[in-house]
Structure 1
Amino acid sequence: MKDSKKLYKVAFGLAVFTIIYNILEGLISTYLGFEDESLALFGFGADSFIEVISGLGIAHMILRIQSNPESKRDGFERTALRITGFAFYILVVALVITSMYNIWIGHKPLTTFWGVIISAISIVVMWALVAWKRRVGNQLNSAPILADANCTMVCVYMSVILLVSSGIYELFGILYIDSLGTLGLAYFAFKEGKECFEKAKNDTHCCCD
């Protein structure tokens, strides 16, 4: 009993850390993305802010299952999922329209250096979070926590897209690569939005496999 209580505290701590990290990542990425005229970095930062809303739902979920592991998803979590889903869809529309416009006018970012740095840091941090969440989830035999770990992997994929697009542009200055990277981020944002609405309608834990 004591061990499980301690593990739930660790799981909640990981959720809080994820929220704080995404706030900082969002602030830094949107600022530098705007300054460097890198849509991919700016979109990455905007996605981080949306992940904060999702993170609040996850933190609440952990407190709920700690009190009653067999309990179902409650109203707070469903509302958080719907808000997150709407936010992702709005982000997708904004990123697709802006990236297509940038391709149309041949826009190029001033630099993507910070995109490389931020994405590399994010890959390391998010991968560590995935491993830690999976470890705690397996020890607790908790499907919801393991599902959250799987969903965190999406952040790793998005970080890889930002790293690749930013790295290619920084090395070779290829036109449109920043916009193409943005479209890649929009694809995953759309998938996340869809999954949020699916989860809000039922009690399945995650579709992020």
Structure 2
Amino acid sequence: MSTTTLPALLKPARRLLLQRRIRIIVAITITYNVIEAIVAIAAGTVASSTALVGFGLDSIVEVLSAAAIAWQFAAPDPEKRERLALRVIAVSFFGLAAYVSVDAVLALTGVREPDHSPVGIVLAAVSLAIMPFLSLVERRTGTELGSASAVADSKQTLICSYLSAAVLVGLVLNLAFGWTWADPVAGLVIVVFAVREGLEAWRGDACKTPVSALTGERQVEACDCC
């Protein structure tokens, strides 16, 4: 087995600054996604939009992910909480995928037919503008801080950007051309992303680099299972 070379420790003042920045990003992410979830689920229910409801549920997953990070790093030893945090995120993704899959099938078979949703279009467009920025800031901060969880959460936020684009395309096609199938198909795109991210989160605790190693507190041996 090889030994991982660790980065130099950050100065205490810089580390505190980065940790504070992560907390601010997490707070913004939670606040925005709570609002996004309420609006998306409400608008999606009114319009019978599979993609929009799924988008709202994904926002709840984003909240759970950010909350898991906040909970994890509130502990004196964050590493002890990493396994449970990853499992919570993974299960949330699988639940999201199951719901959207069933709803999409109902829509494609004609049991539920989506209506137009201008509110959903605006919401998806706003999210597409905001999420990439939050993801970039969190990823850069997490990388410098050496936080595996923060970097992983930034990737999940980036996934939210992809989902925003998929939902936006589906809603616009339905509005412009009356392509009702575009909405559930966009919902199935969400399923693909959700399952992939869920599997990555579930496997993440089986072969992960401990937080203490990433932050430069100790060395670890390379894992042979990855």
Fold match (TM-score > 0.5): yes
Residue in structure 2 matched with residue 19 of structure 1 by the alignment: 30
Task: After TM superposition, give the deviation of residue 143 of structure 1 in Å.
Answer: 4.7
Contact kept? 1:12, 1:62, Cα under 8 Å: no
Task: After TM superposition, give the deviation of residue 63 of structure 1 in Å.
Answer: 4.6
Residue in structure 2 matched with residue 176 of structure 1 by the alignment: 181
Aligned-residue RMSD, C-alpha: 2.2
Contact kept? 2:49, 2:114, Cα under 8 Å: yes
- Residues 15, 96 of structure 1: alpha-carbon distance in 2 compared, 3 angstrom cutoff: same
Task: After TM superposition, give the deviation of residue 191 of structure 1 in Å.
Answer: 1.1
Contact kept? 2:124, 2:167, Cα under 8 Å: yes
Whose Rg is larger? Answer: 2
For the pair 1:54 / 2:60, whether they are aligned, the reply is: no
Residue in structure 1 matched with residue 88 of structure 2 by the alignment: 83
Q: Which has the higher helix share?
A: 1
Task: After TM superposition, give the deviation of residue 145 of structure 1 in Å.
Answer: 3.1
Specify the SS of the correspondent of 1:181: helix
Contact kept? 1:40, 1:178, Cα under 8 Å: yes
* Structure 2 runs not aligned, ≥5 long: 1-11, 211-226
Task: After TM superposition, give the deviation of residue 62 of structure 1 in Å.
Answer: 4.4
Structure scoring higher RCO (CA < 8 A, sep ≥ 6) equals 2
Residue in structure 2 matched with residue 121 of structure 1 by the alignment: 126
* Structure 1 runs not aligned, ≥5 long: none
Task: After TM superposition, give the deviation of residue 154 of structure 1 in Å.
Answer: 0.9
**Deviation readout 1:123-146 (Å, 9 max, x if unpaired):** 111111022113323543555433
Instruction: Give the aligned length.
Output: 199
Residue in structure 1 matched with residue 17 of structure 2 by the alignment: 6
Code of the residue aligned with 1:9 in structure 2: it is R
- Residues 73, 139 of structure 1: alpha-carbon distance in 2 compared, 3 angstrom cutoff: closer
1:197 to 186, 196, 202: 202
Residue in structure 1 matched with residue 5 of structure 2 by the alignment: none
**Deviation readout 1:46-86 (Å, 9 max, x if unpaired):** 1111221111122234456xx6xxx67323x3223222222
Task: After TM superposition, give the deviation of residue 204 of structure 1 in Å.
Answer: 4.4
Q: Distance in 2 between matches of 1:72 and 1:139?
A: 17
Contact kept? 1:8, 1:62, Cα under 8 Å: no
TM-score, with normalisation over the residues of structure 1?
A: 0.85
For the pair 1:186 / 2:191, whether they are aligned, the reply is: yes
Aligned pairs (5 A) from 1:122-161: 122-140=127-145, 142-161=147-166
For the pair 1:34 / 2:40, whether they are aligned, the reply is: no
Q: Distance in 2 between matches of 1:20 and 1:193?
A: 23
Residue in structure 2 matched with residue 74 of structure 1 by the alignment: 80
Code of the residue aligned with 1:47 in structure 2: it is D
Code of the residue aligned with 1:188 in structure 2: it is F
